[in-house]
Structure 1
Amino acid sequence: MLITNAKIHTMAGDTIDNGWIHIKANKIAAIGSRTDKPIKDEEVLDVHGAGVYPGFIDAHTHLGMWEDGLCFEGDDGNEETDPITPQLRAIDAINPMDRCFSEALAAGITTVVTGPGSANPIGGQLAAMKTAGSRVDDMIVKAPVAMKMALGENPKSVYHGKSQTPSTRMATAALIREELFKAKRYMEDLERSKNDEDFEAPEFDIKSEALLPVLRGETEVHFHAHRSDDIYTAIRIANEFHLNYVIVHGTEGHLIADTLAKEGVRVLAGPYLCDRSKPELKNQTPANPGILSKAGVFTAIITDHPVIPLQYLPTCAALAVREGMDYEEALKAITINPAKICGIDQRVGSIQVGKDADLVIFDSDPLQMTSKPVHVIADGKIML
């Protein structure tokens, strides 16, 4: 396919005012301007000056884990029987037939990170996947993309109701540390057994096995943390174990933005297009992403679907702009920034040769409330 007469917002450099994009084998094969000679003998999609953007990305959702219109039958996001469950994999719970996938795709969101909720201090493995498709295995971009850990009210509220640890923030942090120490010892014993024939390998431990990539820095940790003290606890634990980490939500990040910038913390900011439904959200504000970004914190915007339906991700970016975020930074916060934060930018997040042909086309400002995509292209196929 050849897309012509396009204003290409690459999110990787300058905008091409009158350009073309050649798609071949589901990838972006070439990009050019009107001064170049376009590829011949291809199906042509003339967009008549419309803006072409990378497919939007939401880096924190529970898509397919809490199914639309269902209660317990479709609730597969929290295993509330054990506070430590690193061995759980989102890919085993996602229902790609949930209609919210098609609603997200129609709004131009072509990639999401989805996974367990925040009931458990260690909840399980998140997956990055496309919103187009019908089989999870074929939709995966990267799995696991991160390990979910949670601090603050959610774990203590869930297990306090069961008269079980953790019922305090101290216990939540202690459980995470305990499991990381166990996994570290397990890793050391495995290595020793490989090098010392007289040393017996440890008995297989699926929880420790799941945490090995985390301890090696191969898999990120996504820490659920709203309050500033919980954010600092996440940083403390991450530094103790040399974890590659990201703060998810960061609701009070705007209160400590300069410190987060100095620490090099990355934040997936949101949701904020919702009410302050619990005490730790009392300082929630849609100005948060802009304040973080201007302070030098690498920031992406998230919906936390189904807290905010995924199709309103561009609306969340628009609200951030209204409250002070730079417009281009807001676009980056739903395209290249989440891709870089989640380590999937080699495939998605910008319009560059070799990347997946995931594109969304608007004939108006994509961050206007009244705007809808005129076309959505996923893996080189026109979906809308």
Structure 2
Amino acid sequence: MNKYLFTLLLSTAGTIGCFAQANIVPAAKQTKTIAITGATIHVGNGTVISNGTIVFSGGKILSVTANGQAPQDIEVIKADGKHVYPGLIAPITNLGLAEFSSVKATLDFAEIGNFNPHIRSLVAYNTDSKVPATLRSNGILMAEITPEGGTISGSSSVVQLDAWNWEDAVVKTDDAMHMTWPAIPQSRGEFGGRRQLLTPEVIAERRQNAINELEQFFSEAKGYAAIGKPTVTNTRFAAMKHLFDGKQQLFITADSQKDIVASVNFAKKFNIKPVIVGGDEAYLITDFLKENGISVIVKQPHALPNSTDDDVNMPYKNAAVLANAGINVAISIEGYWQQRNLPFMAGTAVAWGLDKEKALSAITLNTAKILGIDKTTGSLETGKDATLFISAGDALDMRTNHVEKAFIQGRDINLDNLHKQLDKKFSEKYGLKAAN
């Protein structure tokens, strides 16, 4: 027994040593006024200011002007020939809820059960995760931490990615309830250990049963919310009350055009205007989406279409088609480590028909509007949080994006990360030049 315990301790120590990130601590509050001068400022709302100056103090933006001059007696960062962007926002991610996909003990993004509206991702968010630092190095400074699993997964919250704990990290608490629309069942199922072909009638029946169950749950939750002081507490129904008073949004994952229409009409029965997540076939029903004022968070453009009959390039085009039709679009990417590639997903959308500044809005201001945080962040405007970064090149181009400095609410954050440390370590070992 002692032998096995000793081996386990050695293994654990080795793992901790391999994944340690030295000297990366959250930044202190901003104490002096800072001006960034000479840069091309991408405001995030479509406006671009050449040779601009942005001044911020106490974590808030004081001014954004179209000249290279800065007030006297303040700290000046000269960024001639460089670019300033608002901090990028990653929606729909289990960042901080997972560390190693192969180690179950580090996965905390899903619960058992089909209806879990009482689950709150925020309290499980791990600010000591090694992943957020890699995102900050590419300009992703905020994220919507989202639970998964079941039909109703629970509530997400928006955090900034440089904090000691989840209380410090939170930007907006319980911004949205997340739901997955019942999909068409697989054409084959298991019966008595043998595969069984499901008829169209059986498929339709199972699907309708799932929808009926969901509608009953919402109806009971709405009735519970109407009770001032219920004699018996139901934590699941209590968690949904803000859906019905408009204080919380409903995000519905749906991909096919029929599912999107059905899910929107379902939400309308309860006087809820949902946000569609995924929306692979949203481009086929743009008039319906505009008519109902529906925003769409599209999946990563680097994917294959769901149907063999679809244009193989449709995932690349989807964001552009929706945005050009006048729909509020945000871009997301699955997973947690992969979030660092979010700006390049927007760059792909540019290559397939989306205006570059609109693509930037799809990962900044549009996302902020969808998440309900646009009054304080998402663009570089007077009075908003000084959450921004400086890149030597185009932030949406992986060949030129090089984040040299980043600020979250005015705090000058550390851009070191595990990847940079390993790069430096082995570059020195083999006599190579490190990337950063």
The 10-residue stretch of structure 1 (8-17 or 323-332) with the greater mean CA deviation from structure 2 = 8-17
Question: Helix, strand or coil: the match of 2:403?
Answer: coil
Query: Which residue of the partner structure matches residue 215 of structure 2?
Result: 177
- C-alpha contact 1:121 1:172 (8 A) present in aligned 2: no
Structure 2 SS opposite 1:204: coil
1:323 equivalent in structure 2: 352
CA contact under 8 A between 1:246 and 1:266: conserved in structure 2? yes
Q: Which of 90-99 and 220-229 deviates more?
A: 90-99
Structure 1 stretches of 4+ moved >4 Å: 278-284
Q: 1:69, CA displacement in angstroms?
A: 4.8
Q: Which of 25, 29, 39 is the matching residue for 1:6?
A: 39
Equivalent residue pairs, number:
365
Aligned residue number for residue 198 of structure 1: none
Residue of structure 2 equivalent to 1:350: 379
Paired residue type of 1:97: D
Paired position in structure 2 for 1:256: 285
1:279, distance to aligned residue in structure 2 (A): 6.9
Matches for 1:1-384 after TM superposition, within 5 Å: 1-12=34-45, 14-34=47-67, 38-79=70-111, 81-117=112-148, 119-153=149-183, 168-190=206-228, 201-275=230-304, 285-306=315-336, 309-371=338-400, 372-383=402-413, 384=415
Q: Which residue identity lines up with residue 40 of structure 2 in the other structure? A: K
The alignment's TM-score, normalised by the length of structure 2, stands at 0.78
1:223 positional shift: 0.5
Identity of aligned residues (%): 28
Runs of 5+ consecutive residues of structure 2 not aligned to the other structure: 1-33, 193-204, 416-436
* Partners of 1:41 and 1:148 in 2: CA distance: 49
- Equivalent position amino acid for 1:374 in 2: E
Aligned residues of 1:151 and 1:169 also touching (Cα < 8 A): no
CA–CA separation in structure 2 for the residues paired with 1:133 and 1:6: 28
Letter in 1 for 2:271: H
Alpha-carbon distance change, 238 to 351 in structure 1, aligned in 2, over 3 angstroms: same
Aligned-partner Cα distance in 2 for 1:71–1:281: 38
Report the Cα distance in structure 1 between the residues aligned to 2:262 and 2:102, rounded to whole angstroms.
35
TM-score in terms of structure 1 length: 0.88
Q: Alignment partner of 2:261: what SS?
A: helix
**Amino acid of the structure 2 residue aligned with 1:66:** A
CA RMSD of aligned residues (A): 2.6
- The Cα of 1:241 is off from its aligned counterpart by 0.3
The aligned amino acid for 1:183 is A
| 2-structure distance, mates of 1:50, 1:2 | 14
Shift of residue 281, structure 1, vs aligned partner: 11
**SS class of match (1:297):** coil
Paired AA for residue 245 in structure 1? P
Q: Which runs of 5+ in 1 are unaligned?
A: 194-200
Deviations 1:70-125 (A, max 9, x none): 4311221111x2211100000122222222211111110111111111x2111100
Alignment partners' CA distance in 2, 1:214 and 1:316: 31
CA distances 1:184-222 after superposition (whole Å, capped 9, x unpaired): 1112222xx6xxxxxxx4311111111110011110001
Whole-Å Cα distance in 2 between the matches of residues 316 and 47 of structure 1? 26
Structure 2 residue identity aligned to 1:250? G
Matches of 2:410 and 2:118, distance apart in 1: 34
